[in-house]
Amino acid sequence: MAKIIGPGSVIVDVTGFAPHLPVAGETVKGSTLRFGPGGKGSNQMTAAHRAGSTVQIISRRGDDVLGQILKKHYETEGMSEKYVVVDPAAETASALIEIDESDAQNRIIVILAANEQVVRESVFAAEEDFKDADAVLTQFETTTEAVFAAKELAHRYGKPFILNPAPFVPVPREIFDGVDYVTPNETEAEQFTGIKVDTVEDCRLAAKKFFEMGVRNVVITLGVRGAFFTDGEREILVPSIKVKAVETTGAGDAFNGGLATAIAEGLPMETALQFATCTAAISVTRLGSSPSMPYRHEIVALMEKEFGVRL
């Protein structure tokens, strides 16, 4: 079983559903409100865990009502909270999510709260577990110093370092130097490179910018158009899978958790991308972010059905 570690956000999603999203000044009658575990870091690690990995997330939460929702999630999933610091003086992070029931699109306000206290020391407190990890996975919902620290330990122990550069935040260019896999969506790719990504040629140009920053492999997710990969020499374009989406909130996190698991297991790159694509495709057919993540047997079955690949 592969082992994945890294700093990541733990957030409680407060999600409201409505027939359409309100414009400024408009009040829309919604249909339901849900509270559930989320956060890009926790979503990615939940996806990796359900896909077959052992995971260790480095994070922080409060000892409040929202914190108890996260605690219950980790206990139910059988995921470790070894490096999740419970701070009674801190506020557990939250995300206010609006879902358009007509097309499953969303708007999100994230209040990072305790996640902004995940720093270099938090990551180095977990150094022992970096030594036997198979991959390091992170994103931008904690602090940049936590990302730098995770990259430092990944390099120290020779582990592949996977960075989902989401959500977009202004970061030092050096943060990308030495990243083994960067996994932006088309919007994030444009924000970090200045290249508007609409076509495969645009993907190549954006990837070139990432290579100039020191990234080794680039994966750009393109929504319904699939996922593009290049290492500067070869290219792979994996098509998306047609499904009936009900909520797209955790799709990118699902993709990254699936990709990290596949990379940690040493699967060929095309197979890894197919595994990640199937993980994301199943996730959008379900409500919630962390709760929507599929289990390994579901991913494997869809891989065989859509790509003719058996694991």
Q: Which residues are catalytic?
A: 253
**Cis ω before 37 (30° cut-off from 0):** no
Give the DSSP letter string of 204-258.
HHHHHHHHHHT-SEEEEE-GGG-EEEESSS-EEEEPP-----S--TTHHHHHHHH
Which residues face 56 on adjacent strands? 5, 80
Q: What residues have CB less than 8 Å from 83, skipping those under 6 apart? A: 56, 57, 58, 59, 122, 125, 126, 129
Which residues face 98 on adjacent strands? 16, 107
Strand-strand pairing, 3-7 and 135-139:
parallel
Q: How far is CA 205 from CA 163, 200, 209, 230, in A?
A: 19, 9, 7, 11
Q: What residues have CB less than 8 Å from 7, skipping those under 6 apart? A: 41, 57, 58, 59, 118, 122, 123, 138, 142, 146, 147, 149, 150
